[in-house]
């Protein structure tokens, strides 16, 4: 029988609904403990409560600590797979940070729930069972950190929360899931390109995420970026910005603060195509770093990690090309 380490961090999967008020909150006793007898038929499970917080309370420091916790547990004992339960709001960020820094090739699965433990149609137990199945599959090894939700297997790099309440919220726009989980087993239909892993022991850099909009100018950028070590900007379309933003961005680059460009479109990648003022070609010439399809929140984490490794703009661009 496979040995699986189950690490809880909180989120709706660990919560219950107050039937009188309808409000959902954290519990002292983890509701998924009830599922353990059924899971015992699937794998030899060891549980750890790492955190018990809603995921909007999770910080990049928690994520990095979680990665150290996982690596240490794997040094102390042998596990065939790891399952992390997490709130869905920042689940994709934790999964991606783990994907960036974890050295292990043991399958690491992140899951959660959209409905709390005592709500009708609660999806936590099924997501947990599916995740244990994926973590136990030898085919899951070496595919990077995976997110298992609603019978689908997604890569940490591409998955994103797309719906506020629907249980099919996790999608990988443009790419789709890489596999499915059925009652009979785990089936992968795509092999992801494995991204580079980075060794970082701390995250000390402040990185701002801004979204571009029609009529945006440099004032917001100048004020918001003060005290920051770098910024990520969700540009328009293929990677273009209102021209009035450009002087503030160029000023940041001159000060040695990298500016990473992603798109506010959730399909496609940014490219240096347009040569009008504020167009991608001009932005590239001005020294902005173009990301390779990451969304804003993931590009922010990547820049935080990358800035621990280098401040050289060309090296940063290489890291974002990977």
Residues with a known catalytic role: 12, 88
Within 10 Å of residue 115's Cβ, how many Cβ atoms? 18
**Binding residue for ligand ASP, selected from 88, 104, 136, 140, defined by CB under 6 A:** 88
**CB of 186 vs ligand ASP, minimal distance in Å:** 23
Based on the shown chain and the rule CB under 6 A, indicate whether residue 11 belongs to the binding site for ligand ASP: yes
- Give 26's strand partners: 15
For residue 191, how many C-alpha atoms fall within 13 Å in the half-sphere facing its CB? 4
CB of 94 to ligand ASP, least distance (A): 10
Among positions 47-86, residues that touch ligand ASP (CB under 6 A) are: 54-55
Residue 226 contacts residue 191 (beta carbons within 8 Å) = no
Question: Is residue 112 a contact point for ligand ASP (CB under 6 A)?
Answer: yes
CA distance 13 to 31: 8
Under rule CB under 6 A, residue 124 binds ligand ASP: no
Nearer to ligand ASP, 12 or 130 (CB): 12
CA gyration radius, the chain: 20
95 near ligand ASP, rule: CB under 6 A: no
Q: Choose between 133 and 161: whose C-beta lies nearer to ligand ASP.
A: 161
Report the distance separating Cα 260 and Cα 258, nearest Å.
Answer: 6
Distance of closest approach, residue 116 Cβ to ligand ASP, in angstroms? 8
Angle 32-35-41 (CA atoms, 0-180°, nearest 5)?
140
Closest CA to 311 of 230, 206, 249, 202: 230
> Applying CB under 6 A, does 9 fall inside the site for ligand ASP?
no
Contact residues: ligand ASP, CB under 6 A: 11-12, 54-55, 87-89, 112, 114
């Amino acid at each position: 029988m496979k040995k699986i380490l189950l690490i809880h961090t909180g989120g709706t999967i660990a919560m219950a609904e107050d039937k009188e008020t309808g409000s959902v909150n954290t519990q002292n006793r983890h509701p998924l403990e009830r599922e353990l007898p059924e899971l015992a038929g699937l794998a030899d499970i060891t549980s750890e409560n790492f955190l018990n917080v809603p995921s909007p309370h999770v910080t990049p420091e928690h994520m990095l600590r979680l990665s150290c916790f996982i690596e240490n547990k794997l040094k102390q004992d042998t596990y065939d797979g790891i399952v992390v339960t997490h709130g869905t709001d920042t689940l994709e960020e934790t999964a991606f940070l783990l994907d960036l820094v974890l050295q292990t090739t043991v399958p690491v699965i992140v899951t959660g729930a959209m409905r709390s433990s005592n709500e009708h149609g609660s999806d936590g137990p099924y997501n947990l069972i599916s995740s244990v199945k994926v973590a136990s599959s030898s085919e899951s090894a070496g595919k990077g950190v995976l997110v298992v939700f609603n019978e689908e297997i997604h890569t940490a790099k591409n998955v994103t929360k797309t719906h506020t309440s629907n249980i099919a919220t996790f999608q990988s726009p443009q790419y789709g899931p890489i596999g499915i989980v059925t009652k009979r087993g785990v089936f992968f239909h795509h092999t992801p390109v494995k991204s580079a892993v980075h060794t970082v022991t701390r995250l000390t850099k402040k990185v701002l995420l801004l979204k571009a909009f029609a009529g945006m100018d440099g004032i917001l950028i100048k004020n918001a970026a003060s005290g920051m070590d770098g910024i990520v900007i969700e540009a328009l379309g293929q990677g273009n910005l209102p021209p009035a933003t450009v002087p503030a961005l160029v000023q940041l680059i001159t000060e040695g603060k990298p500016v990473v460009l992603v798109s506010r479109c959730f399909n496609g990648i940014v490219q240096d195509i347009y040569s009008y003022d504020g167009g991608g070609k001009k932005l590239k010439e001005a020294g902005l770093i173009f990301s390779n399809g990451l969304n804003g929140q993931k590009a922010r984490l990547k820049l935080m990690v990358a800035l621990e490794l280098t401040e050289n703009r060309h090296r940063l661009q290489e890291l974002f090309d990977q």
